[in-house]
């Protein structure tokens, strides 16, 4: 369904643009969460006395890797 002028978008174009926006927004949230985890997980390991040997024994190599 086309509207009167070329500047106006079809409903399909609006839906596509909306999904692009949602995906970009979610990607930003994901990146922020991963950055926080990179800071938090090593600190928690340090506070709880996790050693390099324990990490090697359990194949621990960081969050999400």
Give the tens place of pLDDT for each residue, 26-64: 999 999 999 999 999 899 989 999 888 887 787 655 554
Q: What is the pLDDT at residue 36?
A: 96
- Cα–Cα separations (whole angstroms), residue 5 to 16, 18, 60: 19, 20, 58
CB 1, CB 10: distance < 8 Å: yes
CB 62, CB 35: distance < 8 Å: no
Give the C-alpha separation, 20 to 1, whole Å: 21
Per-residue exposure over 28-43, b if at least 16 CB sit within 10 Å of its own CB, e if not: eeeeeeeeeeeeeeee
Mean pLDDT of 2-27: 76
Q: What is the pLDDT at residue 60?
A: 59
């Amino acid at each position: 369904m086309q509207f009167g002028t070329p500047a106006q978008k079809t409903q399909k174009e609006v839906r596509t643009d909306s999904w692009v926006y949602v995906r970009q927004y979610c990607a930003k949230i994901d990146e922020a969460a991963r950055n926080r985890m990179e800071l938090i997980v090593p600190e928690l390991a340090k506070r709880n006395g996790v050693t390099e040997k324990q990490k090697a024994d359990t194949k621990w190599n960081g969050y999400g890797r």
